[in-house]
């Protein structure tokens, strides 16, 4: 860091000390994203008062103090926004894990289909194309699309993994 007349340039200080300051912020927040936000807010506040710091040896101490004060202020502000209540919220958040699991099971079953069947099913049902559109995309007749999709759906109905999921309540229906 260059000291010009006992003054350290802010940019040079940040380049030299940012890794150590980020570690300090992470120790305060226990979260990398929050630590980066805290460090950014700290550096903004420190920059605004940078010319008032007369002792270059006190820079780290000053910036860390700003960081701690900023962290405490943010913590206090968040605390005021949350109030305990005796009432339970109207509706709990939906649990999407079941939908995600079903999607994974269906995707694996579709992946097990032969290439031509898989392409026809994906275009027909996932991309929501009409049978003539699927026929044009695959370069086959409409009748071929109908029979290929029908055979693919029949295979999916017989798929053991999909059947097991339906028995467990996942429910695959046509």
- Mean pLDDT, residues 29-51 taken together: 91
Q: Is residue 45 located within the same domain as residue 72?
A: yes
Confidence of residue 174 (pLDDT cuts 50, 70, 90): very low
Does residue 174 fall inside a structural domain?
Answer: no
Show which of 81, 113, 143 is a domain's final residue: 81
More confident residue, 122 or 79: 122
Domains held by the chain: number: 2
75 with 120, same domain: the answer is no
CATH number at residue 69: 1.10.1740.10
Q: Is it the case that residue 3 has pLDDT exceeding 60? A: no
Q: Are residues 74 and 101 in the same domain?
A: no
Residue 88 falls inside a structural domain? no
Domain residues for 162?
A: 97-167
Whether 144 shows a pLDDT value over 50: the answer reads yes
Which CATH number do you get for residue 155? 1.10.10.10
Residues 76 and 103 in one domain: no
What pLDDT is attached to residue 89?
A: 66
Long-range contacts (CB closer than 8 Å, 24 or more residues apart) made by 169-173: 170/98, 170/101, 170/102, 170/105, 171/102, 172/102, 172/105, 172/106
Average pLDDT of the chain is 82
**24 within 8 A of 70, measured Cβ to Cβ:** no
Average pLDDT on 87-93 reads 70
Residues 54 and 117 in one domain: no
- 25, pLDDT greater than 70: yes
Average pLDDT over residues 94-117: 81
């Amino acid at each position: 860091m260059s000291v010009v007349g006992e003054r350290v340039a802010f940019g040079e200080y940040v380049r030299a000390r940012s890794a150590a300051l980020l570690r300090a912020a992470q120790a305060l927040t226990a979260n990398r994203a929050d630590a980066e936000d805290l460090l950014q807010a700290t550096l903004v506040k420190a920059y605004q008062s940078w010319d008032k710091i007369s002792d270059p040896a006190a820079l780290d101490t000053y910036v860390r103090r700003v960081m701690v004060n900023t962290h405490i202020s943010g913590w206090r502000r968040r605390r005021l926004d949350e109030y305990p209540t005796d009432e339970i919220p109207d509706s709990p958040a939906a649990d999407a894990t079941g939908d995600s699991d079903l999607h994974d099971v269906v995707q694996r079953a579709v992946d097990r289909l032969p290439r031509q069947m898989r392409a026809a099913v994906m275009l027909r049902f996932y991309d929501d194309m009409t049978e003539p559109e699927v026929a044009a995309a695959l370069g086959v007749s409409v009748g071929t699309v109908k029979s290929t999709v029908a055979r693919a759906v029949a295979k999916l109905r017989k798929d053991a993994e999909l059947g097991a999921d339906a028995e467990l309540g996942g429910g695959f229906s046509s």
